[in-house]
């Protein structure tokens, strides 16, 4: 007979519950959160875990998201593993504290059920929330399945708490469809999880510890001629170094639990592809079906899912560009008004094209924002657009293509 600790369970749960289960199985010590649609069921489930003593943690039910992240700065500085979850407006409201966390190099993990930014109110999938704060010094990973949400939290703490890295970590998934629909999630035996993710050191993180026996002050004024610049460089350096740690952790996870998350990107049929769509989140997962349909028609289509945008998978993308691909489509489910493409990630992906050894054509797209539905047929349509560029050098000319970017579903009259 196996004990509870040694048994694997498969539970049907929502994406949000998968996040709560991830925090529970990571044995977090402090949770702080403020309810916001569509994250609410994460914090409800965690409250239940804490109140039922299934999770031995201190839950601070604060009065705002700014206080959420401030509280976690405090708790993480004591050396306690700390967790939160938020979305949309809440994420934007905690922006100041996000910098406080990363610049203090605190290994806090937070899940985001992304939603559209108001006004007007919108509570459906749209990554403009996380994309608006993409340069705060947090690792940013997208999770496109329920299982991936759960698994990612275990890996996130392992990566963030690595003393070479010590950067905070966001796990992002789409609001409502992914946060609220239910799917089976495999919960490994707790013993195995504890082996993979031991508790943090008792005397706190190496670089900061609030110990009255060893008093230090954190954060006082640094003058321009002092090393402010150098400390900022260290953050970029840690971000770049984290790529290796991420890959190693993914491999270690695969060895232990038998689920492989590839790396910073997940390629699908990219090897011989001459048209590739680059996307992130659940849209990228769905895109695989469009690839299958294109392949059935004899088209060499591929799909590349960005699992991480911070650190940015520069090397992986360059490898793609230096291979056989001729045309890429880059799909943003989010906006960056006034930047070269209107989409934050397409701008970044396309900025790498000038480093590629060959000429690769690109079509930036803004799709599915504010929860607008994107069907497989739509995705097949994008591949057809890419093929016209490849075969005839014909870029889309209809009115949904504005300022060089396809705004899929833009209403243009009959």
Partner 1 sequence: MVSLKELIKQESTKPELFLAGSSACAGCSSVLALRWALKALGKRTVIVSPACCANVYIGLWPKTSPAVPYINMAFAAGASAAAGVVAGYEALGKKDINVLTWAGDGGTVDIGIQALSGAIERNTNFIYACYDNEGYMNTGTQRSSSTPKYTVTTTTPLGKHMHKKDVAQIIAAHDIPYVATCLATDPVDVYNTFMEAKAVHGPKYIHILSPCAPGWRFDVSDTVKMGNLAVESGFFLLWKQVDGRMEIKGKSLKALDKEKRVPVKDYFKPQGRFRKLTEEQISEMQDWVDRRCDRMARRLQSEADL
Partner 2 sequence: MEKSNNQPAISTGYSSWRELPHIPVSIPCKGSIGETGKWRTFRPVLDAEACIKCGICYLYCPDGVILYQDDAVPEIDYTYCKGCGICVTVCPKKALEMVQEQQ
Cβ proximity to partner 1: between 29 and 333 the closer is: 29
Structure tokens at 409: 């579903």
What contacts 343, CB < 8 A, 6 or more positions away?
330, 332, 334, 335, 336, 364, 365, 366, 405
Query: Which of these segments, 77-85, 139-147, 166-174, 355-363, binds partner 1 (CB under 8 A)?
Result: 77-85
Q: Which of 38, 79, 88, 334 binds partner 1 (CB under 8 A)?
A: 79
Other beta carbons less than 10 A from residue 292's beta carbon: 15
Backbone phi, psi, residue 221, to 5°: -55, 135
Which of partner 2, partner 1, none does 105 bind, CB closer than 5 to 8 A by kind? partner 2
- DSSP bridge partners of 266: 305
Q: Which of 47, 100, 183, 409 binds partner 1 (CB under 8 A)?
A: 100
Which of partner 1, partner 2, none does 97 bind, CB closer than 5 to 8 A by kind? partner 1
Cβ proximity to partner 2: between 121 and 233 the closer is: 233
The reply to whether 35 sits near partner 1 by the rule CB under 8 A is no
> How many positions of this chain bind partner 1 (CB under 8 A)?
43
The reply to whether 220 sits near partner 1 by the rule CB under 8 A is yes
Which of partner 2, partner 1, none does 166 bind, CB closer than 5 to 8 A by kind? partner 2
Q: Which of 43, 97, 239, 273 binds partner 1 (CB under 8 A)?
A: 97
The reply to whether 254 sits near partner 1 by the rule CB under 8 A is no
Q: HEC profile for 28-66?
A: CCEEEECCCCCCHHHHHHHHHHHHCCCCCCEEEECCCHH
Which of partner 2, partner 1, none does 395 bind, CB closer than 5 to 8 A by kind? none
Backbone phi, psi, residue 150, to 5°: -60, -55
Q: What residues line the site for partner 2 (CB under 8 A)?
A: 103-105, 166, 206-208, 213-220, 222, 227, 230-231, 233-234, 237-238
Cβ proximity to partner 1: between 74 and 409 the closer is: 74
- Cβ atoms of 54 and 25 closer than 8 Å: no
Which of partner 2, partner 1, none does 246 bind, CB closer than 5 to 8 A by kind? none
Query: Which of these segments, 58-66, 119-127, 295-303, 368-376, binds partner 1 (CB under 8 A)?
Result: 58-66
Q: Which of 12, 48, 207, 218 binds partner 1 (CB under 8 A)?
A: 218
What whole-number distance in Å separates Cα of residue 345 and Cα of residue 247? Answer: 22
What whole-number distance in Å separates Cα of residue 294 and Cα of residue 334? Answer: 26
The reply to whether 82 sits near partner 1 by the rule CB under 8 A is yes
Backbone phi, psi, residue 273, to 5°: -75, 140
Cβ proximity to partner 1: between 89 and 141 the closer is: 89
Which of partner 1, partner 2, none does 276 bind, CB closer than 5 to 8 A by kind? none
Cβ proximity to partner 1: between 95 and 347 the closer is: 95
Sign of CA dihedral 323, 329, 332, 336: positive
The reply to whether 30 sits near partner 1 by the rule CB under 8 A is yes
SS3 207: coil
Cβ proximity to partner 2: between 217 and 397 the closer is: 217
What whole-number distance in Å separates Cα of residue 170 and Cα of residue 267? Answer: 22
What whole-number distance in Å separates Cα of residue 302 and Cα of residue 277? Answer: 7
SS3 11: strand
Parallel, antiparallel or unpaired: strands 169-174 and 327-332: unpaired
What whole-number distance in Å separates Cα of residue 395 and Cα of residue 362? Answer: 10
CA–chain centroid gap for 275, Å, is 25
Q: How far is the CB of 287 from partner 1 (least distance, A)?
A: 40
Task: Choose among 91, 117, 85: nearest CA to 15.
Answer: 85
The reply to whether 63 sits near partner 1 by the rule CB under 8 A is yes
What whole-number distance in Å separates Cα of residue 400 and Cα of residue 407? Answer: 5
Structure tokens at 293: 């349909």
Q: How far is the CB of 237 from partner 2 (least distance, A)?
A: 8
Cβ proximity to partner 2: between 106 and 309 the closer is: 106
Cβ proximity to partner 1: between 33 and 306 the closer is: 33
List of residues contacting partner 1 (CB under 8 A): 29-30, 32, 56-58, 60-64, 66-68, 70-80, 82, 96-97, 100, 202, 210-212, 215-223, 226
């Amino acid at each position: 007979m196996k004990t509870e600790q040694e048994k694997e369970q498969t539970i049907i749960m929502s994406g949000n519950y998968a996040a709560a289960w991830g925090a529970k199985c990571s044995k977090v010590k402090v949770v702080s959160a403020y309810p916001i649609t569509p994250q609410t069921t994460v914090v409800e489930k965690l409250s239940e875990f804490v109140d039922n003593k299934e999770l031995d943690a201190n839950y601070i039910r604060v009065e705002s998201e700014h206080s959420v992240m401030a509280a976690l700065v405090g708790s993480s500085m004591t050396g306690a593993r700390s967790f939160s979850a938020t979305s949309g407006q809440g994420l934007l409201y905690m922006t100041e504290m996000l910098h406080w966390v990363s610049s203090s190099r605190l290994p806090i993990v937070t899940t985001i059920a992304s939603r559209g930014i108001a006004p007007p109110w919108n509570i459906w999938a749209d990554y403009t929330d996380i994309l608006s704060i993409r340069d705060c010094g947090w690792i940013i990973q997208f999770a496109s399945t329920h299982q991936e949400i759960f698994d990612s939290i275990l890996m996130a703490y392992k990566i963030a708490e690595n003393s070479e890295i010590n950067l905070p970590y966001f796990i992002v998934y789409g609001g409502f469809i992914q946060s609220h629909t239910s799917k089976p999630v495999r919960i490994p035996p707790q013993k195995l999880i504890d082996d993979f993710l031991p508790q943090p050191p008792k005397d706190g993180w190496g670089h900061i510890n609030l110990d009255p026996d060893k008093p230090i002050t954190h954060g006082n004024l640094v003058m321009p001629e002092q090393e402010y610049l150098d400390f900022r460089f260290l953050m970029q350096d840690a971000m770049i170094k984290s790529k290796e740690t991420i890959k190693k952790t993914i491999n270690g996870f695969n060895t232990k639990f038998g689920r492989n998350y590839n790396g910073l990107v997940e390629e699908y049929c990219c090897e011989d592809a001459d048209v590739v769509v680059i996307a992130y989140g659940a849209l990228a997962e769905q895109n695989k079906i469009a690839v299958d349909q294109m392949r059935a028609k004899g088209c060499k289509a591929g799909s590349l899912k960005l699992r991480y945008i911070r650190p940015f998978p520069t090397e992986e993308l360059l490898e793609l560009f230096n291979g056989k691909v001729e045309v890429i489509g880059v799909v943003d489910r989010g906006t960056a008004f006034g930047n070269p493409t209107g989409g934050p990630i397409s701008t970044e992906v396309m900025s790498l094209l000038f480093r590629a050894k060959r000429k690769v054509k690109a079509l930036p797209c803004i799709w599915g924002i504010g929860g607008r539905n994107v069907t497989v047929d739509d995705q097949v349509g994008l591949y057809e657009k890419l093929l016209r560029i490849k075969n005839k050098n014909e870029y889309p000319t209809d009115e949904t293509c504005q300022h060089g970017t396809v705004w899929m579903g833009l209403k243009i009259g009959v």
